[in-house]
């Protein structure tokens, strides 16, 4: 087949035209090539589409975590288009023959060339970014739990500091009044306890008085178990009756005094409580300001990419799940790196002996030669005088294709 012959004209469908554009294939040249070249074109288009789908899902899930759809969708499309276009340009940037069509004895030294290093750097950067976004998307539940734990610890410390500050403020504003209320309350409680004990003593003395009076009457007048007359038992009963009467009298006297003291202590306590209540609104206003400030400083739940990334780093640093998270992230990075490089590697090193590439190189060189010939002929007619060509310096009219 002569590569200089014009390829026959074809009218591919819109879908096939899109596939040709996706892998940078000229449909006119491909139409005259073997079927295997068309299979190669379709396979490369499917591979590049798969790379784009992986980027679409990874970046789409990442952006949808943090922004609404009307922001996430355009951002995802822009990133996916950039990744696909980069792979498209990298995969079609160099033309060379492979397989049995390669020039014998011509070694390829591009394995260590700057071009290959640049391609690896680009693929590595895009793969790392995509794997990080995919890791954050697939580990969203773990990241949210880590964020909640950090948020709870921070907020607990802030709330404790706020409570301590309110305690100090109350001590400064109401400390003396609180102490007075406590002191008068303790005094009231002490007098009340003493009064209750005295009342119990009065009741015991009253019961003892009645019992001894009954025993004395029994001994005096006779009765069951009693010897009638004013004998020793009668005199003992009378003595105890007198003692009980004295204790009862003292208790009633003490009760009167304690009740007076209790009334006075209660008035003091009520006055202290009233003074405290009068100053308490001022403290409550100060406490409300402290609470408002603390609540404003509390870490609120947020959906921020930076906070999620920091939480992911804490997950990596965790002694419990850190090693598993690191392994999973490295595995995901390696997988996405292979996927990102797959199209470029296939285009560069795993291609078959392509008749399409031979025809494309041949037609491009022929068109370049025709253009150079046309350039030479057109410039030669500009400097004719009397049928003779004028000598033109190289600096004035450079050769076609020269940068000088």
26-81 pLDDT per residue, tens: 888 888 888 888 888 888 888 888 888 888 888 888 888 888 888 889 998 998 89
pTM above 0.75, yes or no: no
What pLDDT, on the 0 to 100 scale, is given for residue 36? 86
| Number of domains within the chain | 2
pLDDT at 113 exceeding the cut of 80: no
| Claim to verify: residue 60 and residue 134 sit in the same structural domain | yes
| Claim to verify: residue 284 and residue 349 sit in the same structural domain | no
C-alpha to C-alpha distance for 45 and 34, rounded to whole angstroms: 18
**Top-confidence residue, 343 or 52:** 52
| Claim to verify: residue 234 and residue 131 sit in the same structural domain | no
Q: What is the mean pLDDT of the chain?
A: 78
386 assigned to some structural domain: no
**Top-confidence residue, 120 or 46:** 46
**Distance (Å) of CA 108 to CA 64, 120, 349:** 45, 17, 11
Cβ of 301: how many Cβ atoms within 10 Å?
Answer: 8
97 assigned to some structural domain: yes
| Claim to verify: residue 206 and residue 279 sit in the same structural domain | yes
* Residue where the block lists tokens 């969203």: 140
List the domain range (segments joined by +) for residue 229: 157-297
372 assigned to some structural domain: no
| Claim to verify: residue 32 and residue 114 sit in the same structural domain | yes
Indicate the SS3 state at residue 139. Answer: coil
* Residue where the block lists tokens 């296939």: 346
72 assigned to some structural domain: yes
| Claim to verify: residue 230 and residue 328 sit in the same structural domain | no
| Claim to verify: residue 255 and residue 188 sit in the same structural domain | yes
pLDDT at 399 exceeding the cut of 60: no
Q: What is the DSSP string of 70-138?
A: HHHHHHHHHHHHHHHHHHHHHHTS-----GGGSPTT----GGGSHHHHHHHHHHHHHHHHHHHHHHHHH
CB-based contact 150:314 (threshold 8 Å): yes
| Claim to verify: residue 167 and residue 291 sit in the same structural domain | yes
62-72 pLDDT per residue, tens: 888 888 888 88
Q: Which of 372, 374, 373, 380 is closest to 397 using CA atoms? A: 380
143 assigned to some structural domain: no
What pLDDT, on the 0 to 100 scale, is given for residue 4? 47
CB-based contact 352:36 (threshold 8 Å): yes
> Residue 86 has which token pair?
């980069």
C-alpha to C-alpha distance for 56 and 147, rounded to whole angstroms: 26
**Top-confidence residue, 65 or 274:** 274
| Claim to verify: residue 119 and residue 177 sit in the same structural domain | no
69 assigned to some structural domain: yes
| Claim to verify: residue 210 and residue 80 sit in the same structural domain | no
Averaged over 148-158, what is the pLDDT?
A: 88
| Claim to verify: residue 274 and residue 345 sit in the same structural domain | no
**Top-confidence residue, 281 or 376:** 281
147 assigned to some structural domain: no
| Claim to verify: residue 190 and residue 269 sit in the same structural domain | yes
291 assigned to some structural domain: yes
């Amino acid at each position: 087949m002569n590569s200089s012959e014009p390829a026959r004209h074809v009218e591919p469908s819109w879908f096939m035209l899109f596939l040709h554009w996706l892998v940078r294939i000229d449909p006119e040249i491909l139409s005259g090539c073997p079927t295997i070249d068309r299979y190669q074109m379709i396979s490369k288009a499917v591979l590049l589409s798969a790379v784009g789908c992986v980027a679409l899902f990874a970046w789409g899930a990442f952006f949808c975590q943090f922004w609404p759809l009307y922001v996430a969708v355009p951002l995802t499309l822009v990133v996916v288009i950039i990744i696909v276009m980069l792979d498209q340009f990298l995969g079609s940037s160099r033309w060379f023959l492979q397989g049995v069509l390669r020039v014998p004895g011509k070694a390829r030294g591009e394995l260590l060339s700057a071009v290959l290093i640049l391609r690896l750097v680009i693929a590595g950067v895009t793969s790392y970014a995509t794997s990080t976004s995919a890791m954050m998307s697939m580990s969203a539940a773990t990241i949210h739990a880590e964020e909640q734990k950090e948020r709870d610890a921070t907020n607990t410390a802030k709330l404790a500091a706020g409570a301590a500050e309110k305690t100090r403020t109350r001590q400064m504003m109401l400390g003396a009044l609180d102490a007075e209320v406590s002191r008068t309350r303790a005094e009231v409680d002490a007098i009340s306890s003493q009064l209750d004990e005295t009342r119990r003593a009065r009741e015991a003395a009253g019961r003892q008085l009645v019992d001894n009076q009954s025993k004395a009457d029994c001994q005096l007048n006779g009765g069951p178990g009693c010897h009638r007359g004013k004998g020793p038992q009668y005199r003992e009963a009378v003595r105890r009756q007198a003692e009980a009467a004295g204790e009862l009298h003292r208790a009633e006297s003490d009760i009167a005094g304690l009740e007076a003291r209790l009334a006075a202590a209660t008035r003091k306590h009520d006055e202290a409580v009233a003074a405290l209540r009068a100053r308490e609104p001022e403290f409550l206003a100060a406490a409300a300001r402290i609470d408002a400030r603390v609540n404003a400083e509390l870490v609120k739940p947020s959906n921020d990419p930076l906070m999620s990334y920091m939480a992911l780093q804490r997950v990596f640093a965790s002694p419990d799940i850190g090693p598993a998270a690191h392994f999973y992230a490295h595995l995901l990075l390696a997988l996405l790196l292979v996927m990102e490089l797959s199209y470029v590697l296939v285009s560069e090193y795993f291609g078959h002996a392509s008749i399409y590439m031979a025809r494309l190189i041949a037609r491009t060189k022929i068109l370049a030669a025709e253009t150079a010939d046309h350039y030479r002929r057109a410039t030669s007619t500009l400097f004719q005088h009397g049928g003779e060509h004028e000598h033109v310096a190289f600096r004035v009219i450079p050769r076609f294709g020269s940068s000088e």
